[in-house]
Amino acid sequence: MQWYKVTISANEASQNIDGKIRDDFEKLFLLTTHRPRNELALFEGGRSRNDEINLYFSPKCAEVTTFKTLIDSYEGVPCSEPTREAEEEMGLLIGAPESWKHMMWHPDL
């Protein structure tokens, strides 16, 4: 199953682009009729050495037109499922926590 990633530069983060994506995703999430909705999720990886932030869209997002449009509007690219090796930490921004416990981690945990 294909994940999607949007990388936010330090400059974009200073303009709150990540917050805009989160807000847009939340609006779509609350209005979606897709069932089960617990398959739709937005995650944030930790900051890289270049102060970039990766936002990850769960695979089901690409199958729902409104979410895929959001991904495309921020130039999201296909990627593998995020792993602890690729992202030091991972947090769920929007989605059903009980469905995504395996996708949330922090180096101190």
Kindly report, residue by residue over 28-55, the tens digit of the pLDDT: 999 988 778 899 999 999 877 788 999 9
Neighbours of 86 (CB within 10 A): 13
Both structure tokens of 36: 């089960």
C-alpha 42/C-alpha 22 separation (Å) is: 8
Domain ranges for the chain, please list them.
3-103
The pLDDT mean for the chain works out to 92
Rounded mean pLDDT, 3-8: 96
Q: Which residue has the higher pLDDT, 53 or 1?
A: 53
What pTM, to 2 d.p., does this model score? 0.92
Quote the pLDDT of residue 108.
67
Decide: 57 and 74 in contact? Cβ < 8 Å: no
Quote the pLDDT of residue 19.
96
Alpha-carbon separation of residue 1 from 62, 75, 78 (angstroms): 10, 19, 10
In the predicted structure, residue 109 carries a pLDDT above the cut 90: no
Give strand pairing partners of 55. Answer: 6, 44
Quote the pLDDT of residue 3.
97
**If 0-12 CB within 10 Å is exposed, 13-18 middle and 19+ buried, where does residue 107 land?**
exposed
Rounded mean pLDDT, 63-80: 96
